[in-house]
Amino acid sequence: MKMSDSVAEMSFAAMMTLRDRGEDRFSGTGPGAPWGWLYGGEIAAQALRAAAATVEPERPPHSMHCSFLRPGQDRIEVEFDVERVKDGRAFSARRIVASQAGKVITTMAAGFHASESADELSLTAVPAAPSPDALAPNTNWNGLFERRYVPTDDPSRVLAWVRLAERLPDDPVLHACGLIYIADDLFDGPPVRMLGFELWRPEEFLHPDREMIGQSLEFCLWLHRPIRADDWVLLDYRCTTMTNGVATVNGEVFSRSGAHVATVTQQVLVRLK
């Protein structure tokens, strides 16, 4: 199924409105990315949305582990098949397979957890960073979210405030999907800096004589506390190792109030041309 030309103007909420095809099967569309294939954060967010449609609303998303197997093609509908792996007393587990034209492009394992009364501890301190209002906006490939970099001298690190551009309703699933969408944007930043490119000058590492190709392989996210993806969150990402063409990037996500709301990890294929 071809996507309409107007999809480039699709809102995030509209992108997360999937078609229910029955028997835990869903489908969705979204805008293409300038590098020629679908943005991984878009597919992962839609996969979580599909899984959540099969889980009781009292169990918000807790975790997701995503494997990107093939690039998603622009203007072709993505189909999401959800398997109900488990529904326990407090946790639910789902397996999601995303396909296009009969070929699997992404798989995901998603977890959902009912709220429990328990002590809260946080041993991860929010890094020192200026308010997003004190930082200049950055040029962005996508109008669905805003990004503001925090300068840092550590070439293995990227620190940035990010938020969705549109206001969302009070839906914890939608905000979890929004966090996945914006969190996927910065993972190639630390490898870019470690290889000597200037992150704040994208024309440098997109120059035809010095082109770097970064492609997501694995994307994991654990939600610790409720978040609002339409409010500023601080992403603190570090590349811990880069070998055999694969960079591993670990990160923490903090709310504007300083709460540690999520932990993220991604493996990125890095190649130089």
Q: What is the pTM of this model?
A: 0.91
Domain of residue 105 covers 5-113
- Cα(27)–Cα(98) distance, integer angstroms: 9
| Residue 210 predicted with pLDDT over 70 | no
Statement to judge: residues 136 and 106 lie in one domain:
no
- Provide CB contacts within 8 A for 258, sequence distance 6+: 126
Q: Is residue 152 part of a domain?
A: yes
Q: Is residue 201 part of a domain?
A: yes
Please give the pLDDT value at position 35: 76
Q: How confident is residue 212, by pLDDT bands cut at 50, 70 and 90?
A: low
Statement to judge: residues 214 and 244 lie in one domain:
yes
Please give the pLDDT value at position 4: 36
Q: Is residue 121 part of a domain?
A: no
Q: Is residue 189 part of a domain?
A: yes
Angle 40-52/172-183 helices, nearest 10 degrees? 160
pLDDT tens track for 28-38: 998 878 777 89
Q: Is residue 124 part of a domain?
A: no
Q: Is residue 120 part of a domain?
A: no
Statement to judge: residues 108 and 158 lie in one domain:
no
Total number of domains constituting the chain: 2
Minimum mean pLDDT range among 40-49, 122-131, 217-226: 122-131
Q: Is residue 243 part of a domain?
A: yes
Statement to judge: residues 136 and 107 lie in one domain:
no
Statement to judge: residues 106 and 193 lie in one domain:
no
pLDDT tens track for 66-95: 999 999 988 889 999 999 999 999 999 999
- The residue with tokens 């529904």 is 87
Statement to judge: residues 92 and 141 lie in one domain:
no
Strands of the sheet with 246-255, listed across from one edge: 19-22, 25-28, 78-87, 91-100, 103-113, 61-68, 212-223, 260-272, 246-255, 233-243, 157-164, 145-150
Q: What are phi and psi of 180, to 5 degrees?
A: -60, -45
What's the burial of 25, exposed, middle or buried (CB within 10 Å: 0-12/13-18/19+)?
A: middle
Cα radius of gyration rounded to whole Å, the chain = 18
Please give the pLDDT value at position 79: 98
| Residue 169 predicted with pLDDT over 80 | yes
Is the Cβ–Cβ distance between 19 and 53 less than 8 Å?
no
97: domain CATH number?
3.10.129.10
pLDDT tens track for 138-161: 877 888 999 999 999 999 999 999
| Residue 132 predicted with pLDDT over 80 | yes
Secondary structure letter of residue 22 according to DSSP: E
Q: Is residue 122 part of a domain?
A: no
Statement to judge: residues 208 and 93 lie in one domain:
no
Statement to judge: residues 149 and 90 lie in one domain:
no
DSSP letters of 31-75? PPPTTSS--HHHHHHHHHHHHHTTS-TTS-EEEEEEEE-SPPPTT
Statement to judge: residues 104 and 29 lie in one domain:
yes
Statement to judge: residues 149 and 259 lie in one domain:
yes
| Residue 198 predicted with pLDDT over 80 | no
Statement to judge: residues 74 and 157 lie in one domain:
no
pLDDT tens track for 36-49: 789 999 999 999 99
